[in-house]
Amino acid sequence: MKWRRSSGSPSSESSPTSESSPASERIPDYGTPPPKPPPISWAPLCCVVDKQIRLASFRQVGTEWQLSWVDDSSVPDGDSRRDSAPMSGSFVTAADYPGCPGCSNAGFVRCGSCTGLGCWQPGTKRYHCPHCKVTAQITGSITSIKSINLG
Ligand SMILES: [Zn+2]
Ligand SMILES: [Zn+2]
């Protein structure tokens, strides 16, 4: 005797869960950009010992301008046509600053009277400006320096 079980076959319907997503936007990979060299500005710096005016190179690191080196060749004073935008921020000497080429002073100051830069022996309290011949106390800190445009 045969009878049929009327058992339906188990439903094997599976709802698709992973539908193919529409083409997602691909962000092109340009890689990391090459590191930019730190901005450099130049300002004339006068040696208080040999009175030569040389080009001082300032490297910008964040909001800090670091005096990194002074070119040994002297430049004429009062060349104002090459004035460019002033550097502003805080001013320090870089850790690798070798010192003034004329006298190896390790620091520098900005004259409050004529705004000219001169080399300076750290710790010295008085400064005789080689530009305008004013002697003054060293006070405060430099917040801006007039740079020159070499371009
Ligand atoms: Zn010097
Ligand atoms: Zn001065």
Cα(110) to centroid(ligand 2), Å? 8
Q: Write down the pLDDT at residue 12.
A: 54
Distance CA 15, CA 33 (A): 46
Q: Write down the pLDDT at residue 31.
A: 77
Cα(116) to centroid(ligand 2), Å? 5
Query: Please, which residues have CB within 8 angstroms of residue 34's CB and are 6 or more apart in sequence?
Result: none
**44 occurs within a structural domain:** yes
**115 occurs within a structural domain:** yes
Cα(6) to centroid(ligand 2), Å? 110
Q: Write down the pLDDT at residue 149.
A: 77
Q: Residues 90, 141: contact at Cβ < 8 Å? A: yes
Q: Write down the pLDDT at residue 113.
A: 92
pLDDT by residue, tens only, the chain of 151 residues: 566 666 555 555 555 555 555 566 676 677 777 777 778 999 999 999 999 999 999 999 999 999 999 998 877 655 555 566 789 999 999 999 999 999 999 999 999 999 999 999 999 999 999 999 999 999 999 999 998 877 5
Query: Please, which residues have CB within 8 angstroms of residue 21's CB and are 6 or more apart in sequence?
Result: none
Q: What is the total count of domains within the chain?
A: 1
Q: Write down the pLDDT at residue 145.
A: 94
Domain enclosing residue 125, as ranges: 40-145
